[in-house]
């Protein structure tokens, strides 16, 4: 658990609770699945995770991408509304909900912390919904790049841990449109796609201007 921290830089801001065990997952491996009973909550220590839902007819919707420090699986009903998978090698802190409930019964601060995590998730989801409802393809891709850069790296050049299909399913587009839009932004000189997974943001201010 502390070992997991040691080799990464920077370490997650803080662990949710001084409890739980760290687990490891390979890329593409399932962490929890849509419909499963929620008995464990996870905090991502390193790597990157996607959460997604499968619709009735097989269409996929990526709910969010998660970075170290994020808490996953803190959900309302008794069962998970999303599945979660690593997009790279992933280390997580697994915390039984029973433990969480027990601790928060005596620690109002933890309760507030959990509330704040859920509220933050709500806010992210509402941003996401607003984007899907009202922005065009260029605006969506620009918003995605800006958001990703802020959350993962804060640098202006970085590697994307997800495929074009993941991005498309997150943005409500097809891989074709995502690919075309990235090419388009490159033609405009706003970004460099140095390799399919490696991107440099050249005019972050202009990208931001595109996000409405």
91 binds, among DNA, a copy of itself, none (CB under 5 to 8 A by kind): none
Q: Which is nearer to a copy of itself, 45 or 143 (CB)?
A: 143
Q: How far is the CB of 71 from DNA (least distance, A)?
A: 27
The entry of a copy of itself, DNA, none near residue 146 (CB within 5 to 8 angstroms by kind) is: none
| Spatial contact of 185 and 172, defined as CB atoms under 8 Å apart | no
Residue 10 φ then ψ, to 5°: -85, 160
Of 102 and 194, which has the nearer Cβ to DNA? 194
**Residue 158, Cβ neighbours under 10 Å: how many?**
17
Using CB under 7 A as the binding rule, the residues of this chain from 127 to 186 that contact DNA are 136-138, 163-165, 172-180, 182-183
Q: DSSP readout, 47-89? A: S-EEEEEE-TTS-EEEEEEE-TT-EE---SSSB-SSEEEESSS
Residue 76 binding result from DNA, a copy of itself, none, given CB thresholds of 5 to 8 Å by partner type? a copy of itself
Give the count of beta carbons closer than 10 Å to the beta carbon of residue 150.
Answer: 11
**Residue 163 contact among a copy of itself, DNA, none, beta carbon within 5 to 8 Å by kind:** DNA
């Amino acid at each position: 658990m502390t070992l997991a921290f040691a080799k990464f830089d920077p370490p997650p801001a803080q662990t949710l609770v001084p409890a739980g065990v760290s687990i490891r997952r390979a890329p593409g491996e399932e962490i929890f699945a849509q419909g499963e009973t929620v008995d464990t909550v996870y905090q991502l220590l390193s790597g990157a995770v996607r959460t997604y839902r499968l619709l009735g007819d097989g269409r996929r919707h990526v709910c969010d991408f998660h970075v170290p420090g994020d808490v996953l699986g803190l959900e309302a009903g008794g069962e998970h509304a999303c599945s979660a998978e690593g997009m790279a090698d992933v280390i997580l802190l697994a915390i039984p909900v029973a433990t969480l409930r027990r601790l928060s019964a005596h620690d109002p601060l933890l309760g507030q912390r959990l509330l704040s995590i859920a509220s933050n998730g709500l806010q992210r989801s509402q941003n996401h919904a607003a984007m899907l409802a009202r922005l065009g393809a260029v605006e969506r891709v620009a918003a995605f790049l800006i958001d990703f850069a802020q959350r993962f790296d804060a640098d202006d050049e970085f590697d994307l841990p997800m495929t074009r299909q993941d991005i498309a399913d997150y943005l409500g587009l097809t891989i074709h449109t995502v690919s075309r839009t990235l090419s388009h932004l490159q033609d405009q000189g706003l970004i460099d796609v140095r390799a399919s997974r490696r991107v440099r943001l050249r005019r972050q201010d202009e990208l931001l201007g595109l996000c409405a």
